[in-house]
């Protein structure tokens, strides 16, 4: 019987995205999160006395300005070497051979697979064979899995692959392949990387995305960690589970204000929600965003004074635990509790104002932006759409005007 760990997408020392817009962001805590998550990964491997550790690509986020990140990685691998734990890794699109120029030789317990063709490595003390191939460049469009060798009889066979599979709207397409391509190899376990959301795709054979070990932005919510796998003497998987390693937990929650009609009730609901989330994340830093939804009489008030409510949420977070919770942003997706068509029946002037308001578009998106979107990689496009989702001027104006009309005598 033996145990192993499958991890991926460490993105060590990756640059922070979007935090420059927030003066109060805990930049240092988030900047160091990927390193601390790697330390947690090594701690887990030592605690469980694993037979080996797999890293399915994107160890680094890109080329490094110096050797500090590689030195940190090597130090952590030496901790595993001291306990005779081997590490098998492949390169992904972010740390492809053509991308990384500042290279340090890893400790001799770390094996990187070839980027030229699939390789197979068999453990000297266990009937385990690992098959894999790394990325030679950052734009691999070839189906690498098709050329992986067939399983070795009498061994527990593992495929190590960085791939988007059939594609993902949140990630660029790399080394695309199908589940059928993987299944036909006859392996026991496929350790996949590239998709940051942990997911168990199949149990016959086991095909698993471990996800990234640390969420890095607001659209990488929920626990992040690694896949811990136990195998019995018959070379059958008896247990597979996600073990959280993250030190910063991102959360994006929606609060329905349909039953909320006054500000004190809203304040209490936000406080209760933040407190509950804080209890669920344990000792981690909680970075949270709230989106308010539902039909509510507070619709106009919220839009008219969004900055105050953002500050209210921040104040609530500080009061609950200023060291452990950071309120990232408040978004509004509420709707008015009154019917504009009924308001238009009041008089001709009101009807005229509401008709003009319906047609109000403060600015059309430049045509150049459409062309830019077509050329952007998926991660950059996600960032652009995140900015575009900001509550628009037209929504704010409409909410304020409707609220003013509805509450006027």
What is the pLDDT at residue 337?
A: 74
Q: Per the confidence metrics, is the pTM higher than 0.85?
A: no
Statement to judge: residues 273 and 220 lie in one domain = no
Statement to judge: residues 265 and 396 lie in one domain = yes
pLDDT, one tens digit per residue, over 154-210 is: 999 999 999 999 755 556 789 999 999 999 999 999 999 999 999 999 999 999 999
What three-state secondary structure class fits 142?
Answer: coil
CATH assignment of the domain containing 238 = 3.60.21.10
CA distances from 84 to 42, 125, 227, 246 (A): 13, 11, 20, 25
Q: How many CB atoms lie within 10 A of CB 309?
A: 22
Count of the separate structural domains present in the chain: 2
Range of the domain at 224: 2-244
What is the pLDDT at residue 29?
A: 85
Statement to judge: residues 225 and 356 lie in one domain = no
Closest CA to 138 of 103, 95, 172, 196: 95
The answer on pLDDT for 365 being more than 60 is no
Statement to judge: residues 208 and 311 lie in one domain = no
Instruction: Name the band, by pLDDT with cuts 50, 70 and 90, for residue 287.
Output: very high
Evaluate whether 269 touches 307 at the Cβ level (below 8 Å).
no
Distance between CA 18 and CA 218 in Å, rounded?
A: 9
Statement to judge: residues 161 and 99 lie in one domain = yes
Instruction: Name the band, by pLDDT with cuts 50, 70 and 90, for residue 395.
Output: low
Cα atoms in the Cβ-side hemisphere of radius 13 Å centred on 401? 19
How confident is the prediction for the chain on average, in pLDDT? 86
């Amino acid at each position: 019987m033996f145990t192993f760990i499958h991890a991926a997408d460490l993105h060590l020392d990756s640059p922070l995205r979007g935090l420059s817009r927030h003066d109060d962001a805990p930049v240092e805590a988030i900047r160091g999160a990927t390193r601390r998550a790697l330390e947690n990964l090594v701690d887990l491997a030592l605690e469980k006395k694993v037979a080996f550790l797999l890293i399915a690509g994107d160890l680094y986020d890109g080329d490094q300005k110096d050797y500090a990140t590689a030195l940190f990685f090597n130090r952590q691998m030496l901790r595993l070497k001291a306990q005779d734990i081997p590490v098998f890794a492949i390169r992904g699109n972010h740390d492809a051979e053509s991308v990384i120029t500042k290279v340090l030789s890893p400790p001799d317990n770390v094996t990187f697979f070839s980027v030229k063709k699939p390789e197979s490595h068999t453990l000297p003390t266990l009937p385990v064979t690992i098959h894999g191939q790394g990325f030679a460049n950052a734009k691999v469009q070839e189906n690498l899995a098709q050329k992986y060798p067939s399983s070795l009889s009498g061994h527990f066979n593992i495929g190590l692959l960085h791939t988007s599979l059939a594609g993902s709207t949140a990630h660029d397409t790399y080394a695309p392949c199908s589940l059928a391509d993987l299944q036909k190899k006859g392996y026991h376990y496929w350790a996949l990387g590239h998709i940051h959301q942990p997911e168990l795709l199949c149990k016959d054979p086991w095909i698993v995305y471990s996800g990234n070990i640390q969420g890095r932005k607001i659209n990488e919510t929920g626990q992040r960690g690694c896949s811990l796998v136990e195998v019995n003497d018959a070379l059958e998987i008896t247990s597979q589970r996600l073990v959280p390693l993250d030190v910063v937990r991102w959360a994006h929650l929606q609060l329905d204000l349909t039953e909320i009609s006054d500000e004190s009730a809203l304040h209490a609901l936000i406080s209760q929600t933040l407190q509950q989330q804080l209890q669920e994340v344990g000792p981690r830093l909680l970075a949270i965003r709230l989106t308010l939804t539902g039909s509510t009489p507070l619709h106009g008030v919220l839009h008219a004074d969004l900055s105050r409510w953002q500050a209210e949420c921040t104040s609530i977070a500080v009061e609950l635990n200023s060291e452990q919770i950071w309120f990232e942003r408040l978004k509004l997706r509420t709707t008015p509790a009154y019917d504009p068509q009924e308001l238009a029946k009041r008089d001709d002037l009101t009807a005229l104002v509401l008709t003009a308001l319906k047609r109000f578009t403060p600015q059309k998106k430049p045509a150049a932006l459409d062309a830019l979107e077509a050329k952007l990689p998926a991660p950059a496009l996600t960032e652009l759409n995140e900015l575009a989702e900001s509550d628009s001027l037209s929504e704010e104006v409409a909410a304020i005007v409707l609220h003013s009309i509805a509450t006027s005598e």
